Structure 1
Amino acid sequence: MATLITVFYKYSGKERDKLTLSKGELRDLLSSEMGNILGKSQDKPALDKIFKDLDANKDGTVDFQEYITLVACITMFCNEFFQK
């Protein structure tokens, strides 16, 4: 749990609010921390879709709760992959 929290705050606030991730901060987090799990985070259409899907309240940022949604989805994907 501490690692998930630390990773979020490592990237949040570089561009704006310390409590949220901008699209650029999310891109940096995905490429640095999650490597190839989500494919190429430099792929702008893919990044736009991920960001849009995560931004549940449509405020143009990803807050911690929305970030945890990403973590949960990746965990479920990995679980399904390893069950095969």
Structure 2
Amino acid sequence: MPSQMEHTMETMMFTFHKFTGDRCYVTKEDLRVLMEKKFSAFLENQKDTLAEDKIIKDLDQCRDGQVGFQSFFLLIAGLTVTCNDL
């Protein structure tokens, strides 16, 4: 039986692949939908109304409109650190 941490990792991978389909990346629009569905409480509590756009822009480091799993994972890690700090 997987540990809670392993289950969490599996959930992150499943969520990413749910939005990517057969691709290895999410588009900016996919990421926007994902964030609005999965991080709605976080986004609602942001004082900066452009936070979502800034996050998406920062994650698309190659400026090709694609965000891979590594960048997606960095998003999760960054949000987790921010929430922990609060």
2:12 is aligned with what amino acid? L
Unaligned runs of 5+ in 1: none
Q: Could you tell me how far apart the structure 1 residues matched to 2:75 and 2:15 are?
A: 13
Q: How well do the aligned residues superpose, as a CA RMSD in angstroms? A: 2.0
More helix by share: 2
Q: Which residue of the partner structure matches residue 12 of structure 1?
A: 20
TM-score between the two structures when normalised by the length of structure 2: 0.74
Counting aligned pairs with the same residue, the percent is: 39
Q: Which residue of the partner structure matches residue 11 of structure 2?
A: 3
1:80 corresponds to 2:85: yes
What whole-Å deviation, never above 9, does each CA across 1:9-59 have from its counterpart, x for those lacking one?
A: 11114xxx611111110011111111121238xxx9443321110112333
TM-score between the two structures when normalised by the length of structure 1: 0.76
1:23 corresponds to 2:18: no
Relative CO higher for 1 or 2, CA cutoff 8 Å, sep ≥ 6? Answer: 2
Which structure's CA Rg is the greater one?
A: 2
SS at 1:62 equivalent: strand
Q: How many residue pairs end up in the alignment?
A: 75
1:61 corresponds to 2:66: yes
Contact 1:54–1:66 (Cα < 8 Å) also in 2 = yes
